[in-house]
Amino acid sequence: MATITSKPAVEVSATTDPLQLIDVDHVRFHVGNAKQAAFFYAHCFGFQIEQVSDLTTGSRDASHYLLTQGNIRFVLTSGLSAEHPASLEVAMYGDGVKDVAFTVFDAEKAFEKAVRNGATPAPGGEPRTLRDEHGAVTTATIRTYGRCVHTFVSRAGGYDLVNVKKGGVFAPRFRRADGPGACAPAGGCAPPSGITPVLAVNEHNRKNPCGLKYVDHLVGNVEMGRMNHWVAFYESVLEFSMFKHFDDKDISTDYSALMSKVMASGNNLIKMPINEPAPGKRKSQVQEYLDWHCNTPGVQHLALRTDDELHSIAALRARGVDFLTLPDAYYDRVWERVNTMLTSHGHEAVREDHEAVRKLGILVDADDEGYLLQLFTKPLQDRPTLFFEIICRRGSQSFGKGNFKALFEALELEQERRGNL
């Protein structure tokens, strides 16, 4: 069974570099119906529907649902009018990731430094502070690729991230989703059992954890020829550095290819691979994403870290999560490939039960530092855009390069089924 760990936040002080990232504050999704999407992510992936900000809390323009698991915080946002930016974006792109927000010591200073470094402020992204009797949350937002943004978040008083991680209120105008007022502002419609649907799913998920701990990495797809532009952006604006890069010889099949460079924050808090399509005989999976995303760059997948891949995948499969299916022949070769690599570098062989790995359809890869287990969901919405990866690292800090070929062949089968190859 998994040991419980979560990525530690970074120690900071007033003298810390303004662009020192303390944590991934949250990942915001723009969705068509946050109330319903909250149940999808809770039911399928085991998230707590923890807090909500909506008409009942004085949020007149949008609804926001805070979903939590381990050190993962998702905010699902839906506009309440046709003109709201979230509504306009959902009409264009469908559901997907809008914002990868970072906790920093001082959001205003981080924003100013990023802008000095060449960032463009997002529309309405200038620093602003929401304050009430419990504390204050300051946010400031810059643009990154496509329609995506990064918000710097600094927190004070009761809104400190340490408190939020213990279940404290996320920001002004949020309330617990399963506490008083969960059903109606007047509190007069509690069902006879006293169990609201949110309380029921949260209780079930507390008793049946999926073991997801934090965001390991987050991959962006950009247009052909633009990868190096965005690599330079992350280097100069956010002072990230290049962690790894792969070219189309690494990541290609007979038909499709891509190139990828992995950018990492200074403290390796977050890694952000950036993909661009490479020419192949057939359409690259990155190009398929762009085609269904208004030819606009965006987040292709979020990799969620677990300490126990077998437990997490079994739990997610039992909940109905649809994963990519690999040809069974994958397992004819994988153990020799991976265990040879591991023993040649003096590491233990893969300790997970090999037959259980095969039955659960999990991918395995190794490098000179160790191995990893990973598996990819099918798209999380009707459009073939955003998906999740569930990853467990046993020493390896890479991204499953040895699986790319097998994975891409599986992806191409799916593309073909969608008529997009």
Size of the site for Fe ion (CB under 5 A): 2
Binding mask 288-307 for Fe ion (x = CB under 5 A): ---------------x----
Which CB sits closer to Fe ion, 79 or 400? 400
Query: Which of these ranges, 150-158, 309-317, 381-389, 413-421, lies near Fe ion under the rule CB under 5 A?
Result: 381-389
* Contact predicate 95/78, CB 8 Å: no
Cα separation, 93 vs 306, in Å, equals: 29
For Fe ion, the closer of residues 70 and 168 by Cβ is 70
How many C-beta neighbours within 10 Å does residue 170 have?
A: 26
CB of 303 to Fe ion, least distance (A): 4
Least Cα distance to 304 among 199, 175, 218, 193 occurs for: 218
Distance CA 288, CA 221 (A): 10
Residues 185 and 262: their CA atoms lie apart, in Å, by 46
State the minimum distance, in angstroms, from the CB of residue 219 to Fe ion: 5
**How far apart (Å, rounded) are the C-alpha atoms in residues 157 and 195?**
32
Stretch that binds Fe ion, among 229-237, 321-329, 382-390, 402-410 (CB under 5 A): 382-390
- Looking only at residues 180 through 219 of this chain, which bind Fe ion when binding is defined by CB under 5 A? none
Binding mask 25-64 for Fe ion (x = CB under 5 A): ----------------------------------------
Rounded to the nearest angstrom, the gap between the alpha carbon of residue 298 and the centroid of all alpha carbons in its chain is 12
* Helix/strand/coil for 332: helix
Q: How far is the C-alpha of 182 from the C-alpha of 163, rounded, in Å? A: 21
- Candidates 61-69, 278-286, 360-368, 384-392 — which segment interacts with Fe ion by CB under 5 A? 384-392
Nearest alpha carbon to residue 228 among 271, 266, 274: 274
Q: How far is the CB of 190 from Fe ion (least distance, A)?
A: 43
Q: How near is the Cβ of 124 to Fe ion at its closest, in Å?
A: 31
Minimum CB distance to Fe ion, residue 419 (Å):
25
Query: Does residue 365 interact with Fe ion by CB under 5 A?
Result: no
Specify which residues 377 forms β-bridges with: 323
With contacts defined by CB under 5 A, name the span among 174-182, 314-322, 332-340, 388-396 that binds Fe ion: 388-396
| The dihedral sign for the CA sequence 102, 108, 112, 115 | positive
- Select from 66-74, 108-116, 255-263, 386-394 the region that touches Fe ion (CB under 5 A): 386-394
Residue labelled with tokens 């004819």: 332
CA distance 161 to 297: 30
Q: Which is nearer to Fe ion, 365 or 389 (CB)?
A: 389
| Position 389 contacts Fe ion (CB under 5 A) | yes
Contact 372, 392 (CB under 8 A): yes
Measured from the CB of residue 344, what is the shortest distance to Fe ion in angstroms?
A: 25
Nearest distance, CB of residue 217 and Fe ion, angstroms: 6
Shortest Å, Cβ 399 to Fe ion:
5
Asked if residue 89 binds Fe ion (CB under 5 A), the reply is no
Please count the helices (runs of H) and the strands (runs of E) in the chain. 11, 17
Residues that bind Fe ion (CB under 5 A): 303, 389
